[in-house]
Structures are given as C-alpha cells and as structure tokens.
Amino acid sequence: MRIFSGIQPTGALHIGNYLGAIKQFLELQEKEDCVFCVVDLHAMTAPYQASALPRNVLDAAVCYLASGIDPEKSILFVQSHVPEHTELAWILNCVTPVGDLLRMTQYKEKSRQFQKDLNAGLLNYPILMAADILLYQTEVVPVGQDQQQHVELARTIARQFNKRFGEVFVEPKTKLTKEGAKIMSLSDPRKKMSKSIPGSCLYLFDEPDQIKEKIMAAITDTGREIKYDPTKKPGIANLLIIYSLLSETPIPKIEKKFRTKGYSDFKKALAQVVIDTLEPFRKKHKELAQREVYVKEILSQGAKKARSIAQSTMEEVRKKTGLV
Ligand code: AMP
Ligand code: TRP
C-alpha cells in the first residue's frame, strides 16, 4: 500500500506533529510503501526569508530522521527537487473549481491573518498538496485533523480528473490517529498546538529543563481533580492525552493513579514521562545535526526514487490531457 505525507520546513517539530502525524508514519513504514516529503514549496505561501529556507529544509529532514523515519524503509525527499509536483499542480488547477478552494477552513483562517499580503499560492495550496499525493498513486495519507479537509479535496480532484480524462489517479484516504489527531496548545487548550501561538508548543527536541518549565506553566482549569473532561477541563484533558499516548497507558489508569493528587504532582510526573520518552529523539537529533553530508545524501537518493515514480505518473497524465 502506498502512503504519502508531508511536513512544512517551518521550524522544529512539536509534540502535536509527532502524536498526530509522525507516530503514524513510524508504524506505517514497518509494513507499507512510504513516501515522506519536506514541502518547501508550501512554505513559500507564508512570508519567509529566502536565505533561511535551505537551512530550514535541512533541519526538517534532520527532524524527520531523528524522530525515526528510516531511509532504508521509506523514501524521504524535498518537494522542489521533484519538479513534477509543480507541473501536476498546474494541470490540477485547471480541473479544480475556485469555490472548492474558497471554502477550505485553513484558507479562511490564513487569508484573515495575511489580509494585506494575500498571495494566490495560499488559495491554491491544497492543489499543490493534491499533486503531492496523487503523483505517487497514494492510497493512504496519515495527517493530523487540520489537514483532513485538504486530503478530502485531493480525493475529489482525483475523481474529477479521472472522470474527465480517464482513470489515472488512485483516490486517497485520510488516516487520523484516534486520540492524537488534535493536540491542544499548552497556553490555550481551546486552540490546537501550533508554532504560531507563543508558548503553545512542546517541541520534540526541547531540553529537560524547558520541558519541565513549559509543563509546569501549562494552563489548567479551575478545580483540582485529574479527570478527563475535554469540555469542562480542556487543559487537564489535553495533558492526560499527552501522558497517555507517550506512556502508552490508558487514561482511566492515569486518573486512578492521581486520584488523591493535585495538578502540581500530575504535571511533575507528566514532565518526567515527556523527558524520558523524548530522550532518544534528543540524542539522535544532536548526532544527525552534525552529519549534514549524510543527510543531504539521503535527500538526494530520496529525490531520485521519488522522481522515477512521479515521472511515470506524469507520462500518463500528459498522454491523457493531450500534452504530447
Ligand atoms: P505542519 O507542521 O503544519 O506541516 O503539520 C505537520 C503534520 O502535523 C500534519 O499532518 C498536521 O496535521 C499535524 N499536526 C499539526 N499540528 C497538530 C496538532 N496540534 N495536533 C495533531 N496533529 C497536528
Ligand atoms: N499541508 C500539510 C500541512 O501543513 C503539509 C503537506 C503538504 C501534506 N503536502 C502534503 C500533508 C501531502 C500530507 C500530504 O501540514
């Protein structure tokens, strides 16, 4: 089964990226045919500094590898190294109704945020994402909840294309994790954990002291009971989910363990769980950050393999669309 997913090169990975997306990648790469991509072209839709992009792309690759993506098992590459992504994106532009793009939740949010400086790339973002997915005849796309709508649009685009030009694309399906699909912000548990909210993130490669400090400062709810109630106690519920997923302990068991304890004891224990589980990631990250040549070689091999799949899909697409 072909699996595809992408992550933007926009800073360090947080625990939401890990629990929502990467943890699924690690399970899938053991059995399936996985392709993972650092989506640098998507990163251009938000204001960015050209001189910083190469560093960020390399850092993102290091993060992927440090969190367990194995280049022996999966293809790892950079989106712009395979020009077929932009070529297919153009063609898909011509089968996608503008109305479908205008109703995307992420576009509605971002177009508000970038009101003064709104580029067409932000609107067309999901089309490039559809091209990423469809080029590899992807069956399953593991992502966090915020990307589900985009994957569904890719599915619609595949269907529309196939109907108009003949069967070329597989219709992809979204894969969400049961609990980690939407990890909430530490500073505002009613919003999702996101790099754009200050104090929101626990990063995968944070040092133990930073982890302790952030968890102790995490916003919790009134009351003192450690109980899973996402509506009334969103702060504690989010911390319980993180505890449960990282320690692989069911939530009721954690509630029982802390029945007679307060928030502070629970937070201290959670900090220790996070510090211990992330220890191997921190170690591997430090090691790989020193091995730039090795990481670049992985990306270059990855692009070669990705390109051969992408080229064969594009050959079919060109034939079907009359581009001969
Ligand atoms: P991004 O860093 O926005 O490119 O996201 C990379 C992956 O992480 C995507 O599959 C997202 O859906 C997922 N993701 C981002 N934020 C969260 C979150 N707070 N909880 C769960 N998954 C997330
Ligand atoms: N848009 C995704 C995000 O922001 C990243 C992404 C780009 C992606 N192309 C993709 C995810 C293809 C899955 C499949 O998280």
Q: What is the CATH number of the domain that holds 271?
A: 1.10.240.10
Tell me the whole-structure pTM to 2 decimals.
0.93
**Using a 6 Å cutoff on CB, does residue 202 contact ligand 1?**
no
- 117 and 235 part of one domain: no
- 47 and 141 part of one domain: yes
The one-letter amino acid at 194: S
**Which secondary-structure segment (H or E) carries 298?**
helix 292-321
Ligand 2 atom nearest to CA at 39: 7
Cα dihedral 299, 86, 20, 232 sign: positive
- Name the residue with tokens 């001969």: 324
- 299 and 255 part of one domain: no
User: In total, how many domains does the chain have?
Assistant: 2
Q: Is 110 noted as a catalytic residue in this protein?
A: yes
Question: Which ligand gives the minimal distance to the CA of 184?
Answer: 1
- 60 and 162 part of one domain: yes
**Using a 6 Å cutoff on CB, does residue 193 contact ligand 1?**
yes
pLDDT band at 216 (very low <50, low <70, confident <90, very high): very high
In a domain, 201, yes or no: no
Share of the chain above pLDDT 70, in %: 100
Question: Which ligand gives the minimal distance to the CA of 13?
Answer: 1
- 281 and 303 part of one domain: no
- 41 and 120 part of one domain: yes
pLDDT reported for residue 282: 94
- 167 and 303 part of one domain: yes
In a domain, 148, yes or no: yes
Q: Which residue among 24, 79, 146 has the greatest number of ligand 1 atoms within 8 angstroms of its CB, and so is best to mutate? A: 146
**Using a 6 Å cutoff on CB, does residue 7 contact ligand 1?**
yes
**Using a 6 Å cutoff on CB, does residue 183 contact ligand 1?**
yes
pLDDT band at 184 (very low <50, low <70, confident <90, very high): very high
- 122 and 240 part of one domain: no
**Which structure tokens are listed for 13?**
């990975």
Contacts of 3 (CB under 8 A, 6+ apart): 25, 28, 29, 32, 33, 34, 35, 138, 139, 140, 141, 142
In a domain, 14, yes or no: yes
- 125 and 242 part of one domain: no
In a domain, 185, yes or no: no
Cα dihedral 78, 82, 86, 92 sign: negative
Q: Give the tens place of pLDDT for each residue, 133-171.
A: 999 999 999 999 999 999 999 999 999 999 999 999 999
> Using an 8 Å Cβ cutoff, are 76 and 299 in contact?
yes
In a domain, 224, yes or no: yes
Catalytic residue of the set 23, 110, 175, 267: 110
Q: Is 320 noted as a catalytic residue in this protein?
A: no
Ligand 1 atom nearest to CA at 142: 10
Question: Which ligand gives the minimal distance to the CA of 130?
Answer: 2
Q: Give the tens place of pLDDT for each residue, 110-133.
A: 999 888 888 999 999 999 999 999
Residue 193 has pLDDT above 90, yes or no: yes
* CATH code of the domain covering residue 29: 3.40.50.620
In a domain, 177, yes or no: no
What spacing in Å lies between the alpha carbon of 43 and ligand 1's midpoint?
A: 14
Contacts of 42 (CB under 8 A, 6+ apart): 6, 8, 79, 125, 128, 129
Ligand 1 atom nearest to CA at 185: 19
In a domain, 17, yes or no: yes
**Using a 6 Å cutoff on CB, does residue 34 contact ligand 2?**
no
For the chain, the straight-line distance linking the first and the last C-alpha, in angstroms and rounded, comes to 31
pLDDT band at 322 (very low <50, low <70, confident <90, very high): very high
Q: Give the tens place of pLDDT for each residue, 269-317.
A: 999 999 999 999 999 999 999 999 999 999 999 999 999 999 999 999 9
Catalytic residue of the set 73, 195, 257, 284: 195
Alpha carbon distance 152, 172 (integer Å): 8
The residue segments making up the domain with residue 79 are: 2-171+293-321
Neighbours of 304 (CB within 10 A): 13
Q: Give the tens place of pLDDT for each residue, 49-81.
A: 999 999 999 999 999 999 999 999 999 999 999
**Using a 6 Å cutoff on CB, does residue 6 contact ligand 2?**
yes
Contacts of 153 (CB under 8 A, 6+ apart): 96, 100, 104, 126, 130
pLDDT reported for residue 117: 83
- 246 and 105 part of one domain: no
In a domain, 184, yes or no: no
- 311 and 268 part of one domain: no
Closest CA to 4 of 105, 123, 154: 154
- 39 and 115 part of one domain: yes
